[in-house]
Each structure stands twice: as structure tokens, then as C-alpha cells.
């Protein structure tokens, strides 16, 4: 049995409250890395889009209009049977 499998067996024997605490701690330890990467990527997107807006390369449109266009495109690709 691997060390990880042994630890899982030990943890599963703990009371629910302790398992929940450990689960939160484990997830939090993963979130730091994932969130830092995702945040950096989103910052790049925000910077790029801000530059495009400032330079007049893109136009801002109301959300309702954009959603309507997306729905129309999806319907054109996949019409209801």
C-alpha cells in the first residue's frame, strides 16, 4: 500500500468534523498555486482588452446584445429538432 493510500485509510477513520477540516486544508493548499496562475492569466487578458479598448481596436457592446448574438450563432449551428 502506498503512503498516500495509508494516509487516506487513516483519515477515513477520523470523525467527520476532522475529515472536513483536513479536506479544507488540502484544497486550500492546492488553491494557492492554481489561483496564482489563473490570476496572472486573467490580468494579462484584462491588460490586453484594456489596451484594445483604449486604442479603438474593439467596440464595447451591451451585454444583452452580446448574449443575443451568441444565442443566434448557437441556434444557427444547432437548430432545434
The 10s digit of each residue's pLDDT in 4-50 is 999 999 999 999 999 999 998 998 888 666 677 888 899 999 999 99
Alpha-carbon dihedral sign for residues 66, 72, 77, 81? positive
> CA–CA separation, 74 vs 37, rounded Å?
31
The 10s digit of each residue's pLDDT in 59-72 is 888 999 999 999 99
Torsion of CA 19, 24, 25, 31, to 10 degrees: 150
Domain count, the chain: 1
pTM of the model: 0.42
State the DSSP code for 62.
-
Residue 35, domain extent: 3-77
Q: What SS3 state is found at 55?
A: coil
Amino acid at each position: 500500500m502506498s503512503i498516500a493510500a495509508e494516509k487516506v485509510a487513516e483519515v477515513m477513520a477520523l470523525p467527520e468534523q476532522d475529515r472536513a477540516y483536513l479536506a479544507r486544508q488540502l484544497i486550500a493548499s492546492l488553491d494557492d498555486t492554481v489561483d496564482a496562475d489563473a490570476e496572472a492569466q486573467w490580468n494579462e487578458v484584462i491588460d490586453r482588452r484594456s489596451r484594445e479598448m483604449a486604442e479603438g481596436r474593439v467596440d464595447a457592446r451591451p451585454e444583452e446584445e452580446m448574449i443575443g448574438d451568441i444565442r443566434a450563432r448557437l441556434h444557427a449551428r444547432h437548430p432545434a429538432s
